[in-house]
Amino acid sequence: MTGLTARTETVRRWVAAAVAAGTARRPGFAALGLPEDIVHAAVGTADPDAVACLLDASLDGPVYWAAGRYFAIVPQGAPQLPLDEVGLYRGDELDLPEAHQQVPADDAYWVTLPRSAGSRCHVPDVARLAVRGRVRAREGDARAVRSMR
């Protein structure tokens, strides 16, 4: 199997296992959606390869990008975070990218891949990333205002 074919098969298996872990109406996962500007501020770059590497290291679970948001796949029973920028989406509310969509040129794509059938991001890790991004974004806004004076 080539690298892309193997990665595509990994995603297919993960999606099938995640859906099977839930019910027909409620798949066995949820996602915390973060605006891309918050994620880019948190990791210090908007370069897709660097973002993928940093999210893989800090979240250790599957993440995909769609419509200006990064979606960190978390366990089905994950709580809503008390951060305005972060939305909680249940599995049946999500349109996952196709398994082969793994590059930024796609309308939606997998940024980091699941490592196993039970692979999910840890909610505290997603919360730390969101808070770091929020703080860094506000610091950047404050610097911009100061430079205009």
Structure tokens at 2: 């080539």
Bridge partners, residue 30, by sequence: 74, 90
The structure's pTM equals 0.87
Q: Give me the percent of the chain exceeding a pLDDT of 70.
A: 89
Angstrom distance (rounded) from CA 65 to CA 33:
9
How many Å apart are CA 6 and CA 10, to the nearest integer? 6
Pairwise CA distance, residues 86 & 100, whole Å: 27
65 forms beta bridges with 70, 109
pLDDT digits (tens, 9 = 90+) for 60-71: 999 999 999 999
List beta partners, residue 110: 64
pLDDT of residue 9: 87
- The CA distance from 110 to 77, in Å, is 22
Rounded to whole angstroms, the Cα distance separating 128 from 34 reads 12
Determine contact, residues 88/30, Cβ cutoff 8 Å: yes
Residue 122 has pLDDT above 90, yes or no: yes
pLDDT band at 58 (very low <50, low <70, confident <90, very high): very high
DSSP-assigned states of every residue in 14-33? HHHHHHHHS-SSS-S-EEEE
